[in-house]
A = this chain, B = another copy of it.
Amino acid sequence: MAPRPTPADKFSFGLWTVGWQARDPFGDATRPELDAVEAVHRLAELGAYGITFHDDDLLPFGANAATRDAHLTRFRRALDETGMVVPMVTSNLFTHPVFKDGGFTSNDRDARRYALRKALRAVDLAAELGAGTFVLWGGREGAEYDLAKDVRAALDRYREAVDLLCQYVVAQGYELRFAIEPKPNEPRGDILLPTVGHALAFIATLARPELVGLNPEVGHEQMAGLNFVHGIAQALWQGKLFHLDLNGQRGVKYDQDLVFGHGDLLNAFALVDLLENGGPGGGPAYDGPRHFDYKPSRTEDRTGVWASAEANMRTYLLLKERAAAFRADPEVTAALAMSRVDELTTPTLAPGETHAGLRADRTAFEEYDVTAAGARGYHFVRLNQLAVEHLLGAR
């Protein structure tokens, strides 16, 4: 049986996920609007600990101060009643037509200034609600036509924008870090900072790189055919896994936002193993929210919405159980050793060895039996089969 989620599991959901009305490029909405207050209560009942949102999810675009306050008051009350937290907030810089060529990198300077102002307001909102992370998904920062966008200028403007946001949180004394969410395409033909790698590289150019990390999403990396676990590992390696978006994707196609585990299940298993057991001593390698950014399929009614929310958490917890069993299995331990997985943590050079020492070591080259070494097996298939059988609950 699947274990029941509890707040200690740190599961959070975007308000726009359970609240998605299921309008798609070829179809009208199939579900009515969901009240944010109801979302808080239902998610709390299901065992989530947090809810996240874009500014416009909670406070209607262009609303006046009174309307904003009214919405915010109701929402805060729901948080208080349920104990739910708001670990992350973000700003919608993609829905309104003004952002059609981007927010921070629109060719139109006035649109860029407007985007920055909107983002700064959302930063205030995030701070006000105690969020620790502010996500930057630049879904419209991109182009369809190679000669219509000066990509280097766009990256200048992107950096200018993120630097400004960082200066602002420092100036305000906010305890808030930024997390860039990469995506390769859709809704733009090509989006800037398309993968975990491009965003990591960009961060290294910022004025305050320590304030900016990543919010990688399962499906976004998989839309480029990239291995999500590899991306997360590099983000962790560079100290930049500030937040993450869990969902499911079935290959290189449009952004599906399926339930976590309803896509590449083997990769999801390895991901949970990395997050939960990849830290020093085998503990968690990541202790932030397990955030679901998925869409309940357009075929579902409200009942199906909540069933799908629950499914995300159940699958995560089942994979966590399977990963724990995998790590505890002595056959797995032996197989990992056979595959020399651990040997990779040993530096290639001996302690204190330099290039001179290496070059002087005849056993490393001149006397190395390269033929024999090439004939040795790594036994990776068997190790993977053990993973599959643990995943299937067959061990």
Contact = CB atoms under 8 A, between A and B. Distances in A.
A41 interface: no
A25 B186 contact: yes
A383 B107 CA distance: 14
Contact of A97 (B27, B226, B250, B389): B27
Contact of A299 (B104, B303, B377): B377
B226 A190 contact: yes
B381 A233 contact: no
Interface residues of A, number: 170
A73 interface: no
B378 A107 contact: yes
Contacts of A299: 100-101, 144, 377-378, 380
A382 interface: yes
Report copies per complex: 4
Interface in A178-224: 184-187, 189-190, 192-205, 222-224
A58 interface: no
Residue with the highest number of chain B CB atoms closer than 10 Å, among A27, A97, A108, A161: A97
25 contacts: A25-B25, A26-B140, A27-B94, A30-B375, A97-B375, A107-B339, A107-B340, A107-B341, A109-B348, A145-B384, A148-B341, A151-B237, A164-B355, A186-B253, A189-B227, A190-B230, A196-B198, A202-B234, A222-B251, A223-B253, A297-B380, A311-B388, A318-B389, A391-B392, A392-B393
A378 B101 contact: yes
A252 interface: yes
Nearest to A2: B394
A393 B376 CA distance: 35
B147 A270 contact: yes
Contacts of A251: 222, 225, 251-252, 264
A306 to B, nearest CB: 10
Interface in A151-170: 151-157, 160-161, 164, 167-168
B147 A184 contact: no
Contacts of A202: 234
